[in-house]
Structure 1
Amino acid sequence: MDVKITGPYNYLHVIERLSYDPIRVIDKEKNGVMVPINVYGKDVVASVAFSGPIENPNCHIQLPSGYEEEGIRKIITIFQLEESLQEIANHFLHTDLAKFFRVNPGLPLLCEFDLYYCVMKTIIHQQLNLSFAHTLTERFVKSFGKDQDGVWFPPTPETVSNLDYEDLRKLQFSQRKAEYVIDTSKLIASGELNLDELKLLKDEEAIEQLVKIRGIGYWTAENILLFGMARKNLFPVKDIGIQNAVKNLFELEKKPTVEELLTMSEQWSPYKSYASLYLWESLGNQKARS
């Protein structure tokens, strides 16, 4: 099925960003990616490929027979294909971030393919350099997930909840991080933390639920909402990249305070998440958010 996208939509940026995660199957020549998703309780692989100018692109989605309708709905959500990025850009053209949106139009808030994996990946990546963080997530997926037609599906919460901490320690997880990953998976597997219900909550309500969990602080919770749910109005003021980007943008002598960032970000509402995205991108550091 072909999905016509109302541009601009910079799919080249999307493909590049996806390529940073070593478990993903990317075809840069065809601007394509194989996407592991769960449809009607079954793991299926969707083939997604982009073509045409970013001002008016096309997305071709191929799924196994019988899984098209729900599968395409999930792909549209993951890639934010129905979001009006021009409308969002128009909002920023009257702000101090205008130049970023003019120079690099059509950057979407791309979701992780699976919310549970997003939670795990965000926890695993905490306080690690990017290269080793990707190494750990790749080991995690390839040790406990499954390979289907050459595409890796992350492990389920049930699988991870039955692991011992030592199983992760063997992969070079710290003891504390092994505890965070397995204990959080137990909460999800038992239903104590229901990810489907979490999606229905407002931003602060969802963050409040997440930060109750050992190993998930406010920054981690914000990133789960940003990259797991594509929430539009989040601005992680404690993120070092955000602080450095704002320092560079306004040529400040030192990094701005949290209070200064909160005040500054008011003009970017209700699309603060896109301000975050473009500020990270301004550092040439979008790779760090993948």
Structure 2
Amino acid sequence: MPEHCGPLPWRRRAPGFPGLLRAICGQQISNRAAGAIWARLRAIPGATTPEGLLTLDDAALCGVGGLSRPKAAHVRSLATAILDGRLRLDDLPAMNDAEAIAHLTAIRGLGRWTAQVHLLFAEGRPDLFPEGDLALAASLQHLHGLPARPAPRVLAAEAAAWAPWRSVAARLLWHHWRHATGRPGTDPEDDG
């Protein structure tokens, strides 16, 4: 693939609260739209700390930051869970992947995709494959010449063969899709 798509950029995101905020910004929208929202949100003073975020109203989070009202509720839920101790981000490294996903998804607004993307990009986990990701499905459809995007269960079954390096496989598929759609390279809003 490097001869067609160029070298694989190793995108990283901040761990902890800012990384999870970034993942929530990316839920169910394009990378380009998510990046624009993330840039607006992180420019708001206090928005990247749980305490500071909880002081912001919808005018700030939605109007200035660009979040939808459901996503504003999700980021408030995340901040509250961290402050009240239900979400223990410092404990994630000691958890296996399944435990870490369960711990994150116990919080309203943090679904499986969000947990997987956060653990892959911010925590550097080597064996995660976000089977619900539309770009991964589109990339595999393109590579295999399939008539339709494969369903998440099909993606998960295919990715099983790539263990224990499914995160690398996901990165390669995203990189291929970015190239196939004319958007190669890294996003300027990515951390690191």
Normalised to the residue count of structure 2, the TM-score between the two structures is 0.82
Deviation digits for residues 214-259 of structure 1, max 9, x if unmatched?
1111111110111111111111111111111111111122222333
* Higher RCO (CA-CA < 8 Å; seq separation 6+): 2
Shift in Å, 1:161:
2.5
Tell me the equivalent position of 2:36: 135
Q: Which has the higher strand share?
A: 1
Contact 1:237–1:258 (8 Å) recurs in 2: yes
**What does 1:127-276 correspond to in 2, within 5 Å?**
127-145=28-46, 155-171=48-64, 172-276=66-170
Q: Which has the higher helix share?
A: 2
Q: Which amino acid aligns with 2:56?
A: L
Mapped partners of 1:106, 1:128: distance in 2: 25
Shift in Å, 1:271:
0.2
Instruction: Sort the Cα spacing of 1:136 and 1:255 in 2 relative to 1 into closer, same or farther, 3 A.
Output: closer
- What residue ranges of structure 2 are gaps of 5+ in the alignment? none
Tell me the equivalent position of 1:123: 24
Tell me the equivalent position of 2:14: 113
- What residue ranges of structure 1 are gaps of 5+ in the alignment? 1-99, 146-153
Structure (1 or 2) with the larger CA radius of gyration: 1
Shift in Å, 1:133:
2.2
Percent identity for Structure 1 against Structure 2 = 30
Shift in Å, 1:109:
4.6
Q: Which amino acid aligns with 1:140?
A: L
Shift in Å, 1:280:
0.8
Tell me the equivalent position of 1:85: none
Stretch moving more, 169-178 or 244-253: 169-178
Aligned-residue Cα RMSD (Å) equals 2.5
Mapped partners of 2:153, 2:77: distance in 1: 34
Normalised to the residue count of structure 1, the TM-score between the two structures is 0.57
